[in-house]
Every structure is written in C-alpha cells, then in structure tokens.
C-alpha cells in the first residue's frame, strides 16, 4: 500500500494475528481520534476509549448505542452458527409479480 508523504500519516506493519490490527488501534486511540469501521467489537473498544467512531455510511457508534450494536452482532453470529440465518431474502424471480391490495374507502 502506498502511503502519501504527510506528517499526519504513518504506515504501520503489524505481526500476523487474529486481532493484531484491532489491538493496535484500540491501544492507541483516544478522545481526539476518529475511527471509521464496520467492525462492531473494534467500534466498541474505541467508543470506550472516548474516540469518535463512525461507520463508512456515516452512522455514528455512540456510547448509548454501542451496546445494542454489540448485542445484535452477537445474536446474528449465534443465529448463523445454528443455521437459522442463511443469508438475506430469496432471489428475485422474473416470473414473480408484486401483489398489491387497493383500499376502496
């Protein structure tokens, strides 16, 4: 990865490991930092360190909402592990037609 020459940017190479990058980020983040991530456990760690944390779509991870996000992630992980969630809605078929009902008030 090419990193621009800028005093505010630094390229860091970490050892391999499941959470090596997350551990590095969470261990250095603080109140003046902004973290952009979709990783809910990392977001939780950064929120606890008083960083500003947002998802790539702009949705903020806040202290008030991070517990719900972690619980939902854990629930979905458990459901996928038991086979309950197999992946989103069924594929659209060309022969399928939307059904509508019209009110005649």
| Helices and strands (H and E) in the chain: how many | 3, 3
Token code pair at residue 53? 């944390």
DSSP 14: -
Whether the model pTM is above 0.85: no
Token code pair at residue 78? 């458990």
Q: Which residues contact 29 (CB under 8 A, 6 or more apart)?
A: 35, 45, 46, 49, 51
**Average pLDDT over the chain, rounded to whole?**
82
Each domain of the chain, given as residue ranges in start order, spans 20-82
Token code pair at residue 76? 């979905």
Strands (E), the chain: 34-36, 52-54, 60-61
**Contact call for residues 34 and 51 (beta carbons, < 8 A):** yes
pLDDT tens profile 10-60? 888 898 888 899 999 999 999 999 999 988 899 999 999 999 999 999 999
Q: Which residues, in sequence order, are bridge partners of residue 36?
A: 54
pLDDT tens profile 36-50? 998 889 999 999 999
């Amino acid at each position: 990865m090419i990193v621009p020459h800028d005093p505010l940017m630094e390229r860091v190479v970490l050892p391999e490991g499941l959470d090596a990058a997350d551990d590095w980020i969470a261990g250095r983040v603080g109140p003046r930092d902004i973290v952009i991530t979709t990783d809910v456990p990392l977001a939780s760690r950064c929120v606890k360190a008083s960083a500003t944390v947002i998802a790539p779509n702009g949705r903020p991870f806040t202290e008030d909402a991070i517990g719900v996000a972690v619980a939902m992630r854990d629930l979905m992980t458990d459901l996928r592990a038991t086979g309950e969630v197999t992946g989103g809605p069924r594929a659209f078929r060309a022969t399928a037609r939307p059904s509508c009902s019209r009110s005649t008030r």
